[in-house]
Copies of this chain bind each other. A is one copy, B any other.
């Protein structure tokens, strides 16, 4: 794979100096046009030649308007980053539409280093590669232009460089350079494996030879220019493929026994018990650095708010945060739809309760036609992958679908007309949503079918009887947390 990058490719000074001025004008003008565009650009620049990478990054920043290049050097994670899932820091820093980010270090290099030191084994490596691949795929599918460069220095050149440096008395290599130098075959085998596995169709790797700096920098910059220009061409955004029609999902909702109920006294007693237990479990989770994400979805008026209040009541305010999800802000709309959720993933030991969630993509956005059918069809896998990552990194994902039938909803809507709480006042939209009940049922059934995984199953909660629903949710949160802190 690296053969073509060991040819000793060079660019002569005259050619270089002749080309650079035009190239710079082009790049800056493209940056200017990009600011009006509705997609983000992510350039990933890494490689086995760390010195070459940092020179190439500096060169690109020099040639472009550095003010509009968000360069992020992902080295050793900070303490705060270590307390979050691995990809949290990459998600958080993602560029919005019209923005350009340059990532270096990033997910590739750290993983190679960890495999090299034996910190992770082959199975773990492949698991990680799978996440990277799907992460990049999700970005590309979301409309991002993703450009990935691997800067390669042939070992023969590296030997010369080390020799020269040692002669000049500054021969110290950092750990990674040392490993690349001394265990070159191993490193290159690993690098090839990583590159091959993450060579996503729309985010391919380009391997750039680093023997000659002019060749390296000019090749990268030309490629950035070409990709930007092509993508900024009017009508260049590729039409979305028509999604493969998906068979109608089984009617999971029908399996919910809405007659489930519990007598008032028993409910009160059990709720008190469970809240006390939850309180203890949360304290244990804090001590053991176990974090959790609770997701609440459900029919309008199914009682999500009431349940969330009962959970929160059992917790110490510093241990949890409630995130109510409504229409995205301008900034959120300008990012990948999962960005606003990744940003809010709890640090270890904490709980975040999502009142509605990323499932909006396959529910309201689907039914209201706010997301294309292709985007919706992709979302199931993207969501499953996100949850898988969270779970594998030690975050419990506990998802609830709160269900009531149309008659109960009608009763509650009527009751709300009488309630003194303004926020419960019924609006035209509520009745409109009600008319869409069959569309929602279809969407919910498909969601439950396709996103109820072993790692993050849906809990279906019959909620015609509020008391039953509250006790049931508390019970399930306790049992999931209990398992997580080793006290089932």
Contacts and interface: CB of A to CB of B under 8 A. Distances in A.
Contacts of A330: 329-331
Contacts of A429: none
A195 to B, nearest CB: 23
Nearest to A317: B71
Contacts of A25: 420-421
A313 interface: yes
Interface in A443-474: none
A54 B329 contact: no
A73 interface: yes
Contacts of A313: 58, 61-62
Interface string A55-67: 0011001100111
Contact of A29 (B73, B75, B420): B420
A411 interface: no
A316 interface: yes
A317 B73 contact: yes
Interface in A327-347: 329-331
Nearest to A314: B58
Contacts of A67: 305, 308, 322, 324, 355
Interface in A405-449: 420-423
A251 interface: no
A312 interface: yes
A487 interface: no
Contacts of A318: 71, 73, 75
A33 interface: yes
A79 interface: yes
A308 B66 CA distance: 9
A16 interface: no
B57 A317 contact: yes
Contacts of A104: 317
A78 interface: yes
Nearest to A80: B80
B324 A54 contact: no
Contacts of A61: 312-313, 317
A232 interface: no
Nearest to A325: B67
Contacts of A73: 317-318
A305 B65 contact: yes
Contacts of A32: 421-423
Contacts of A68: 324
Contacts of A322: 66-67
A288 interface: no
Given A57-B317, A316-B54, A324-B67, A29 B308 contact: no
Interface in A252-274: none
A127 interface: no
A309 interface: yes
Interface-central residue, A32, A66, A312, by most chain B CB under 10 Å? A66
A376 B313 CA distance: 44
Given A58-B313, A71-B321, 12 more contacts: A28-B423, A29-B420, A29-B422, A31-B423, A32-B421, A57-B317, A62-B309, A70-B321, A71-B318, A73-B317, A80-B80, A329-B331
- Enumerate the 10 nearest inter-chain pairs by beta-carbon distance, A residue then B residue, closest first: A73-B318, A79-B79, A330-B330, A80-B80, A32-B423, A67-B324, A25-B420, A71-B317, A32-B422, A67-B322
24 contacts: A28-B422, A28-B423, A29-B423, A32-B421, A33-B422, A54-B317, A57-B317, A61-B313, A62-B312, A65-B309, A66-B309, A67-B305, A67-B308, A67-B322, A67-B324, A67-B355, A70-B321, A73-B317, A73-B318, A80-B80, A102-B317, A329-B331, A330-B331, A331-B331
